[in-house]
């Protein structure tokens, strides 16, 4: 049965389902979605059940840095470094220095302390605050305000220019010298950010140079540090051979470079970081604050910083697979590091992923997916009772169970429904949506409905059917943060015919999703044991689609037993789209 939970099969419904499936066979659809041939699965076929994607994001760069700090630092840190968040030169050296001294990097405006930064400093109560940059970069009033947020007050580390400021930061954090020193151009930020994580791991400072000449103050600082090795970030287009030669007169130089900022980050990762890292950080390669805030945590957790954007380059994906982190941290919101980056990380490292949906294409009625692997899709409708639904979503996320959900618009508009969709929208690498119509009407016979039957007591015209889907689509997109349910939809009660499918297809819903196992968990008389049995006994064929409900009376109780049974027999629980991959 499909939703709602409080609705029982009406007379003739079970027979109608049988007739519908027979009609599908007559159409030659066979109830099975043809597997995609255009994609080869890039993930480890076994996957890592402990792997997870964690997005660290706030409403702006200041809030994202605060969120990153919250993830890795507790109250009572010895120090917090604070830099201006609107320009990079005076900020770049702060990351490795913060890593050396055991604190985060946070950001301010020239003349104000953002609320998110103030709140985080108040939580941290650092022993001292170090501001990088002079009064023309961070005002005296901001310094005074920051001093009230630390038991040890606030001091500055700054020089006459960006190069001298990096020197002063190095002197502050590395008074006894350093075995390794990192040097990058001071005219752009990507190379310094890529080297920052490695510098943090190696306990090394980050110094800056002009592209064609080594500033004397930087040379003096390198001589004071007395490193056994200098790591030079970027190719000769970023830092000339003459500068490399000047550095070589101080200590042996190793240049790390790539064809682009993304490739330089990869080269740095390959040089310093082995496989099986606990973490990897993915930040935009087009701005500095998010990656800079991650330098100290990267040093702390001994994981690289890789650069991306809306998606990951093929080479970055390959490097992420080599590093094999337990957790991939995405720095910034989806507009900075895209949803596809999260999906690709999950696909590479996890046991399942949400997948990339097919184009609308021709109409199909789908009750199973032909696949050579032992995959099952435990799909969840949301059209009635919602008690315990958020707990189910949390369980699925915590246990890396990729899931296809089919919510109705009416239930999504409830307070609980909006919260559920927000939870789903937070994990687009694990979850995908299909459309379950607005009011859960029987689109063939009329009637039905949830939470009210009244809207369904009308003729099921083409305009009504199309509106049921388009109205719901807008609601689902808004509530989930932009997830697109097309081209998947599930007809309430499994009730559909050619007329219904044609009208659904007219608004982009060409894939009618049915099932070949039904838990009947909407019924109060269905027990936990029955839900488990109906899903797992006998063991399902590959590509099985199971029908269950987010508000099922015993679904949450049954899930751990279902997952244990299927996984112990070699199955992967995943989305319908992933089964196509």
How far is 307 from 267, CA to CA, in rounded Å? 12
pLDDT of residue 100: 97
Q: Could you give the CA distance from residue 466 to residue 460 in angstroms, rounded to a whole number?
A: 10
Give the 3-state secondary structure of residue 82: strand
- The pLDDT-based confidence of 23 (bands split at 50, 70, 90) is very low
Report the pLDDT value the prediction gives residue 34, as an integer from 0 to 100: 33
- Residue 29: is its pLDDT beyond 50? no
Does the pLDDT of residue 518 top 50, yes or no? yes
What's the pLDDT band for 309 if we cut at 50, 70, 90? confident
DSSP symbol at 23: H
* Percent over 70 (pLDDT), the chain: 92
What pLDDT sits at residue 89?
86
Instruction: State how far the Cα of 503 lies from the Cα of 505, in Å rounded to an integer.
Output: 5
pLDDT of residue 10 exceeding 60: no
**Rg, Å, the chain Cα set:** 28
pLDDT at 207 exceeding the cut of 60 = yes
Q: What is the pLDDT of residues 339-382, one digit of tens each?
A: 999 999 999 999 999 999 999 999 999 999 999 999 999 999 99
**The predicted structure's pLDDT at residue 90:** 86
C-alpha 389/C-alpha 38 separation (Å) is 35
- pLDDT of 568 higher than 90: yes
Could you read off the pLDDT of 480-512 as tens digits, one per residue? Answer: 999 999 999 999 999 999 999 999 999 999 999
CA 132, distance to chain mean position in Å, is 31
Angle between helices 462-480 and 415-425 (to 10 degrees): 70
Contact indicator for 493, 1 with CB cutoff of 8 Å: yes
pLDDT of 12 higher than 50 = no
Residue 350: partners with Cβ closer than 8 Å, 6 or more residues away: 43, 47, 48, 51, 52, 53, 400, 402, 429
**Are the C-beta atoms of residues 123 and 70 closer than 8 Å to each other?**
yes
pLDDT for the residue numbered 58: 96
Percentage of the chain surpassing pLDDT 90?
Answer: 88
Arithmetic mean of pLDDT, 267-290: 94
- The neighbouring-strand residues paired with 330 are 55, 282
Per-domain boundaries in the chain: 13-31+354-580, 52-349
Distance, in Å, from the CA atom of 69 to the CA atom of 106, rounded to the nearest integer, reads: 8
Q: How confident is the model at residue 47 (pLDDT cuts 50, 70, 90)?
A: confident
Write the pLDDT tens digit of every residue in 146-170: 999 999 999 999 999 999 999 999 9
Let me know: does 139 contact 110? Beta carbons within 8 Å: yes
pLDDT of amino acid 581: 79
CA 407 to each of CA 412, 432, 505: distance values in angstroms, whole numbers, following the listed order: 7, 11, 18
Q: What is the DSSP string of 249-275?
A: TTS-EEEE--SSHHHHHHHHHHHH--S
13-31+354-580 maps to CATH 3.40.980.10? no
In this prediction, residue 562 carries a pLDDT of 99
Give the integer Cα–Cα distance in Å for 472 and 454.
Answer: 18
**Counts for the chain of helices (H) and strands (E), in that order:** 21, 21
Distance of CA 353 to the CA centre of its chain: 11
Does residue 41 have a pLDDT over 50?
no
Contact predicate 225/170, CB 8 Å = yes
Quote the pLDDT of residue 63.
Answer: 97
Residue 219 has pLDDT above 90, yes or no: yes
Omega within 30 of 0 (cis) for the link into 524: no
Model confidence at 334: pLDDT above 50: yes
CA–CA dist 42, 59 (Å, integer): 33
Give dist(CA 423, CA 544) in Å, integer.
Answer: 26
Q: Which of 21-30, 58-67, 274-283 has the lowest mean pLDDT?
A: 21-30
Confidence at residue 499, expressed as pLDDT on a 0 to 100 scale: 99
The residue whose two tokens read 């101080």 is 250
Cα 134 to Cα 29, 84, 103, 108, distances in angstroms: 70, 10, 21, 13
Local confidence band at 241 (pLDDT 50, 70, 90 cut-offs): very high
Q: Which CA distances in Å does 270 have to 264, 277, 301, 323?
A: 10, 12, 16, 8
Residue 512: exposure state from Cβ atoms within 10 A (0-12, 13-18, ≥19): buried
pLDDT given for residue 45 in this prediction: 56
Q: What is the mean pLDDT of the chain?
A: 92
């Amino acid at each position: 049965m499909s939703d709602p939970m409080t609705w029982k099969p009406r007379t003739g419904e079970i027979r109608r389902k049988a007739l519908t499936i027979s009609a599908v066979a007559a159409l030659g659809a066979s109830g099975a979605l043809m597997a995609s041939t255009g994609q080869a699965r890039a993930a480890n076929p076994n996957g890592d059940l402990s792997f997870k994607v964690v997005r660290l994001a706030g409403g702006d760069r200041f809030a994202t840095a605060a969120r990153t700090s919250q993830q890795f630092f507790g109250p009572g840190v010895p120090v917090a470094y604070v830099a201006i968040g609107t320009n990079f030169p005076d900020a770049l050296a702060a990351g490795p220095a913060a890593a050396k001294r055991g604190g985060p990097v946070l950001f301010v405006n020239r003349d104000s302390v953002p609320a998110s930064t103030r709140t985080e400093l108040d939580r941290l109560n650092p022993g001292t605050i170090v501001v990088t940059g002079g009064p023309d970069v961070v005002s005296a009033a901001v310094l005074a305000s920051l001093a009230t947020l630390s038991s040890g007050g606030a001091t500055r580390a700054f020089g006459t220019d960006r190069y001298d400021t990096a020197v002063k930061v190095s002197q502050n954090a590395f008074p006894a010298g350093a075995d390794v020193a990192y040097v990058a151009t001071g005219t752009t930020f990507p190379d310094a950010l890529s080297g920052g994580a490695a510098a943090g791991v190696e306990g090394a400072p980050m110094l800056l140079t002009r592209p064609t000449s080594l500033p004397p103050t930087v040379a003096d600082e390198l001589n004071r540090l007395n490193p056994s090795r200098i790591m030079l970030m970027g190719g000769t287009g970023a830092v000339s051979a003459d500068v490399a030669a000047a550095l070589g007169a101080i200590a042996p130089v190793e240049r790390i470079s790539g064809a682009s900022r993304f490739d330089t980050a990869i080269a740095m990762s390959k040089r310093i970081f082995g496989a099986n890292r606990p973490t990897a950080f993915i930040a935009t390669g087009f701005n500095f604050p998010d990656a800079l805030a991650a330098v100290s945590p990267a040093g702390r957790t001994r994981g690289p910083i890789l650069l991306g954007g809306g998606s990951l380059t093929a080479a970055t994906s390959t490097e992420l697979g080599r590093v094999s982190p337990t957790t991939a941290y995405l720095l910034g919101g989806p507009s900075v590091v895209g949803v596809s980056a999260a999906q690709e990380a999950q696909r590479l490292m996890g046991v399942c992923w949400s997948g990339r949906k097919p184009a609308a294409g021709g109409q199909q009625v789908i009750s199973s997916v032909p696949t050579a692997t032992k995959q099952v899709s435990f799909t969840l409708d949301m059209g009635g009772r919602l008690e315990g639904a958020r707990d189910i979503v949390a369980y699925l996320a915590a246990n890396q169970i990729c899931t296809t959900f089919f919510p109705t618009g009416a239930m999504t508009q409830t307070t609980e429904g909006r919260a559920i969709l927000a939870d789903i929208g937070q994990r687009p690498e694990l979850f995908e949506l299909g459309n379950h119509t607005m009011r859960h009407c029987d689109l063939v016979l009329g009637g039905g409905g949830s939470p009210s039957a009244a809207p369904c007591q009308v003729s099921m015209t083409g305009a009504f059917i199309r509106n049921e889907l388009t109205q719901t689509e807008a609601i689902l997109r808004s509530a989930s943060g932009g997830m697109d349910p097309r081209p998947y939809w599930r007809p309430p009660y499994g009730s559909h015919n050619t007329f219904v499918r044609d009208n659904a297809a007219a608004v982009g819903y060409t894939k009618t999703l049915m099932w070949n196992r039904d838990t009947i968990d909407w019924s109060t008389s269905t027990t936990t044991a029955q839900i488990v049995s109906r899903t797992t006994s006998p063991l399902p064929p590959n590509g099985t689609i199971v029908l269950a409900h987010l508000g099922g009376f015993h679904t949450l109780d049954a899930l751990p037993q279902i997952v244990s049974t299927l996984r112990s027999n070699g199955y992967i629980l995943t989305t319908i789209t992933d089964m196509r991959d």
